[in-house]
Amino acid sequence: MNDEGQLFADEIVVGCNIASLRFAEENNIPVIYTGQDFPNFFEEDSIEDFTELCFNLSLTGLLPFGDMADSMRVDVDLQVLSVFCGAKRYNVFYEKIFIFSDKNIEGLPEPKKKNKQYKVLDWLDLTSSTEHNEAIYTDSEFVKNIYFYPSLRTSRKGFADAVAVSFLSEEQLNDPNLCDSYARLKSISLMSSAGILGTKMGSGRHRPLKVSHSHREVIAVGKNEYEELPNIEFR
């Protein structure tokens, strides 16, 4: 990068997820992003894989802005990506961009087809009698799977918490019958059917299983689709 805040690169990768990082490492291309899409513990790729890729790319100078970028603007005609880090602006001149995520990128045209499919994570705090429970799988898209993990809450060390995973459309996100409260209730029913009990009371007895809703995450599963643009490839 020169003194005028300009960077010149034949190719750029935009977006920070496991796919973009692997692509950048394999092809020796710098990565620019405004947020990191970490894999969850129940997914095939691990957070350790993600962290190792970031570390390797950083060592070779392929994360020029690290996590400092707040937003970006692309000028398709001038082939320049403006990167905003706080009050500072940097211009990255490119020959080709590979866009893995269009999050926080201005300057792109309206998508010809917007993504309408989402993965919904309902994180649940529970009073289970054990730290280790087998995952629960269903045939429904609403609370399709429930995964358990050792609780990170100080007061619950040695016990489990859980996340309920659903796959919903944009319209379904606004359906009151598919809200976080109903995800909690359905999760309780599934856990009870699986034989998960509350904490022990002694003499082989257990308290009722209690589950409270911590928070909900909504993650786009698909991607927006764009008309073909010069020197830009959406992946």
| C-alpha span between 37 and 87 (Å, rounded) | 24
Q: What is the rounded CA–CA span in Å between residue 232 and residue 209?
A: 52
Question: What element of type H or E holds 94?
Answer: strand 88-99
Whether residue 106 contacts residue 141, with contact meaning beta carbons closer than 8 Å, is answered with: no
pLDDT digits (tens, 9 = 90+) for 45-72: 899 999 999 999 999 999 999 999 999 9
As a whole number of angstroms, the distance between CA 156 and CA 128 comes to 9
Mean pLDDT by 10 residues, the chain (235 residues): 80 97 97 94 91 96 94 96 94 97 93 94 84 87 95 74 96 96 96 85 80 94 93 96
| Single-letter residue type at 23 | F
Largest CA distance in the chain: 75
Grouping H, G, I as helix, E, B as strand and the rest as coil, residue 24 is helix
- Segment (H or E) for 32: strand 31-36
| Backbone φ and ψ of 181, nearest 5° | -65, -40
CA distances from 143 to 15, 38, 201 (A): 28, 21, 30
- Number of helices (H), then strands (E), belonging to the chain: the values are 3, 14
One-letter amino acid of 122: D
pLDDT at 1: 62
Which pLDDT belongs to residue 208? 83
pTM of the model: 0.83
Integer Cα distance of 207 and 190 in angstroms: 17
The whole-number pLDDT of residue 209 equals 85
